A = this chain, B = another copy of it.
């Protein structure tokens, strides 16, 4: 495996993320960091070199989370938990195993929806039948326990609708029980046959899922709005710019009325779906018989939504903010926010160490995750080591600084600022905030530059459609489009790209649909997707 630090160079990466003694040298590894422009080489290398995961566990697509990576993930989860608390969601924890016979209800729904589709009744319901069909290809089965064969086979949850909606009817009786807002943070499992990639396509997924039930469609719609607000808050902390689209019908979650997906653009120009919200109307409620007594004493089906995210958030942070030197962590989720590098000279070593230790303690007390690296290696080596791990701020403290009663703050993007020791807390906080703004702005600029308007479409005499200019690699396209699914299919075919869907924010003024020429404000994104 290319990305793995040679054993003999590797110190113990595990004892703690908090002291330098256990920080790996990564000398050999670092000398070999591929340039980020070679994203397919850079990404798998960096996730191990920065000690986020170890990919040497003997099951493909199931990585071991290392303390440094896991801490960052837990900090991301922490933001999610806060948002869930703010919005009144209760945290539950459902069992991992789901008995196969619970699928019967889904199967019944499938038959019904299949019939509806064949009769052309409701395109929004088209894909429900794929729940179970797609399903059996994707799950891990537990059919044996101990020395017994189980009466009812079980599977490892790929997501928890079936498990949860089995209990929802027991929890929901009347309108007073609604809205029911629940969530859980769990591991889910998908038997991926495609090539796996840390955080992005894995077989055991660190997963977040919120499930809600409401009195009616309108209240469920409000939930989707709240979900999107949560997405905004989270993305703000992570410094990520996203595309929010209503997925086309053929890419809507099975059983959903509509799906709103949140994508980021990775450095290779492919979009990565990092979150999605589904409005189920009462489709699942019908399948699972989730009813309530309304204010008039009538039985009604609830309307449901789900909102899912995963460790792909980590993949997005690594991919988007990272650079040729390594990972770049936004301060909010950086396991280490600031690292102190004492510049030790023979004559004033003790003095420098004393002040460094004092500053470390002061920063910890003011809530900044701070480490000190007093290893006996050159400062340049230390810089290198912490850069690869994406620590936002380096604090250099040398004899000259002491004379000036200052320290030097160097942010991960190379900006240097001297700050007075007596105000070091404020200096570091400002430094972190400014750094957060800069990487956020940079990510937004790259995002915007990567999106281009789709080249003009021409209809040839042969009836075939062609582009006036070639479709470029690494670009996400936008276009005005108001055509049919068949016309969408043509565009997908000739561009080799996928419809992400209709942007939540449409064009401000009307434009001509690229295919039909009709005036429309609908903005569609087209991209190569992960």
Residues of A within 8 A of B (CB): 7-8, 10-19, 21-22, 54, 56-59, 62-67, 70-71, 74, 85, 88-97, 99, 102, 136-148, 154, 156, 163, 166-167, 170-173, 176-182, 187, 189, 191, 193, 204, 206
Contacts and interface: CB of A to CB of B under 8 A. Distances in A.
Contact of A14 (B85, B181, B191): B181
A180 B93 contact: no
B93 A65 contact: yes
Nearest to A63: B95
Given A67-B182, A97-B59, A181-B15, A54 B141 contact: no
Contacts of A22: 90, 177
A177 B12 contact: yes
A166 B59 contact: no
A473 to B, nearest CB: 32
A146 B90 contact: no
A136 B146 contact: yes
A97 B166 contact: no
8 contacts: A10-B171, A16-B88, A54-B170, A54-B171, A57-B163, A65-B93, A140-B145, A142-B142
Contacts of A95: 57, 59, 62-64, 204
A367 to B, nearest CB: 15
Contacts of A189: 96
Given A10-B171, A16-B89, A18-B85, 4 more contacts: A15-B180, A15-B182, A62-B95, A148-B191
B143 A139 contact: no
Contacts of A54: 167, 170-171
Given A166-B57, A171-B14, A145 B136 contact: no
A76 to B, nearest CB: 14
A256 B175 CA distance: 56
Contacts of A193: 146
Given A16-B89, A57-B95, A11 B176 contact: yes
A64 B92 contact: yes
A17 B181 CA distance: 11
Contact of A94 (B64, B67, B88, B102): B64
A90 B182 CA distance: 30
Contact of A92 (B66, B89, B137, B182): B66
Nearest to A141: B144
A166 B57 CA distance: 8
A311 to B, nearest CB: 10
B204 A96 contact: yes
Contacts of A144: 140-141, 143
Nearest to A211: B14
A22 B136 CA distance: 37
A212 to B, nearest CB: 9
A173 B89 contact: no
Contacts of A56: 167, 170
A156 B58 CA distance: 15
A171 B146 CA distance: 32
Given A58-B166, A145-B191, A16 B138 contact: no
Given A56-B170, A57-B94, A71-B91, A176 B145 contact: no
B170 A7 contact: yes
Q: Interface centre among A58, A141, A145, A147, by most B CB within 10 Å?
A: A145
Contact of A16 (B65, B90, B167): B90
Contacts of A18: 85, 88
A70 B58 contact: no
Nearest to A65: B93
A7 B154 contact: no
A180 B12 contact: yes
Contacts of A146: 136-139, 191, 193
Contacts of A187: 96, 187
Contacts of A65: 92-94
B92 A14 contact: yes
Nearest to A74: B91
B139 A140 contact: no
A166 B14 CA distance: 15
Nearest to A19: B88
Nearest to A164: B64
A259 to B, nearest CB: 24
A213 B74 CA distance: 25
Contact of A178 (B12, B19, B93, B179): B12
A320 to B, nearest CB: 23
Given A70-B92, A167-B54, A167-B57, A145 B141 contact: yes
Nearest to A170: B56
